[in-house]
Chains A and B, each alone.
Chain A
């Protein structure tokens, strides 16, 4: 149970930190923020890899494989599309 309390503490503090950070993001960047946050939530990949790589029966392996695919689309797709959008905001008007 002690480990759980530790995790809850981390979760709570991280949530407050998140609120502070996100409130500073200007509205003009809210779409890239969402896709970027999406990429971060792809961190489930860490769990997916362990499930896919352990030998716990074929069902777990299939589920693990799908989890890796899903999470990886999230990670790669999220970061790549965010980068694509942010590049557009970087442009200066002179560089037409």
Chain B
């Protein structure tokens, strides 16, 4: 196939990727969008297979079969609660693939003593660096989310200086590699090793609660790595697709940071949660009011409007389905149930929405913070399930609080609040929550699923 035809078909693939993302703007067209994007990918793969540079197919077929089988198995087996881990892993593999392609291209040039043009040489170094950081950084993020390693920030003296030094070393070695005419092996391996290490040391000081930002950012990196590989092998479809993904990850990281009222730099380098919050407020002298499942059920049965604020505790307790059952019962009794989703309610952007969608909660009942915050004051009962920091009024009132300034859901404005919670433990940020001591608030202690089960039983009996 001629080069021109190949290029044109790659253009078609790029257009399909763009259309796919465009149709993702509504749940109604999203399935179609994802599939059209998949068709674009299939076209790109087929046309690449016809490329003259490919002389042997055994290795390719083996790779395609193994990769597809693993990918399909992962997609089928993964639980919705584990989606952040899955995306982290996929990010890492994407970065790894870019790294491998860049590395293979380099070794080829070294083998045949080819002199790489300056631009190829530069982008190759970039694809090595970004690909390697994405690979190992994502693996660390995966390990933290999967809890095979501690979610707490790992910090040691001189950490930032060491990271900066490693980064400068990579830059220095890369500049050297680019400046000499031949391809040298030792700077190549040095860049490789340091970049892989850098991925680890950049992510370990970031706390588990901040992983959503990290995954989004690594998502972006995997796109940029693909684009850099595109520069190296002079392939436009890689550049376009990579740029699209790169911008997507950046936007999502920004949204997450804004929702936590922190800068990206603070998330990446602040080691949040390592030292414990500096809040001056204590719970001394305050008392909480406890309620029972029966009382809560009565309250909910006669409520005209209910807003559910789900937190990750709900997902951990696997209580999404029972929440929907409860909501159905309340609606049968004439109340209206809405869900208020804080941007950082889950473990990645939009995670809570997926978990609720899995439990058949219609998506038009899920509301963003901005959409629903004005409604709390007209709401009879606000049911907080396994959420803490995202409803802590200290973010509005206590300048000493670590979460001061973070946008929250105005749960405290509701006529009454029921908080489902295991015990009085503090949230991720390790701070007291005034909402729990509010006279309007009643605490229903216990496992979220168990408590809701009792509420549902009571509701049915009423």
Contacts and interface: CB of A to CB of B under 8 A. Distances in A.
Binding between chains A and B: yes
Given A11-B227, A29-B30, A71-B93, A52 B83 contact: no
B135 to A, nearest CB: 9
B102 to A, nearest CB: 8
Main secondary structure of the interface of B (DSSP, over half): helix
Contact of A73 (B93, B112, B234, B363): B93
Interface in A5-59: 7, 10-12, 14-19, 21-57, 59
Interface centre among A12, A60, A73, A91 (most CB of B within 10 A): A73
Given A33-B24, A45-B97, A89-B27, A72 B64 contact: yes
B244 A21 contact: yes
Contact of B54 (A15, A54, A75): A54
Contacts of B240: 10-11, 14
A36 to B, nearest CB: 5
A14 B30 contact: no
B119 A44 contact: no
B223 A52 contact: no
Given A57-B108, A72-B63, A15 B246 contact: yes
Nearest to B13: A43
7 contacts: A27-B341, A32-B34, A36-B24, A39-B37, A41-B225, A43-B237, A44-B101
B231 A59 contact: no
A92 B37 contact: no
A15 B243 contact: yes
A74 B231 contact: no
User: What's the dominant secondary structure at chain A's contact region?
Assistant: helix
B228 to A, nearest CB: 9
Contact of A45 (B35, B45, B87): B45
B25 A50 contact: no
Contact of B18 (A21, A43, A71, A91): A21
B446 interface: no
B312 interface: no
A54 B72 contact: no
B41 A40 contact: yes
Give the contact-size bracket for chain B: 35 or more
A74 B353 contact: no
A9 to B, nearest CB: 10
A15 B20 CA distance: 16
A31 B350 contact: yes
Interface of A: 1, 3-4, 7, 10-12, 14-19, 21-57, 59-61, 63-93, 96
A25 to B, nearest CB: 5
B244 A17 contact: yes
Contacts of B366: 28
Given A39-B37, A46-B237, A22 B74 contact: no
A43 B226 contact: yes
A57 B357 CA distance: 50
Interface string B100-128: 11011101100110000111000000000
B27 A29 contact: yes
A77 to B, nearest CB: 3
Given A23-B251, A49-B45, A67-B97, A80 B31 contact: no
B375 interface: no
Interface stretch (B214-222, B377-385, B389-397, B417-425): B214-222
B55 interface: yes
Contacts of A71: 67, 93-94, 97
A1 B41 CA distance: 29
B48 A46 contact: yes
Contact of B90 (A1, A12, A77): A77
A38 B219 CA distance: 7
A67 B35 contact: no
Contact of A37 (B75, B103, B245): B245
B48 A50 contact: yes
A32 to B, nearest CB: 7
A12 B357 CA distance: 36
B230 interface: yes
A45 to B, nearest CB: 6
B360 A22 contact: no
- Which of A22, A23, A27 has the largest number of chain B CB atoms within 10 A? A27
A41 B220 CA distance: 9
Contact of A43 (B34, B241, B357): B241
Interface string B70-108: 111011101010010011001101101110110111011
A74 B93 contact: yes
Given A32-B350, A66-B100, A90 B57 contact: no
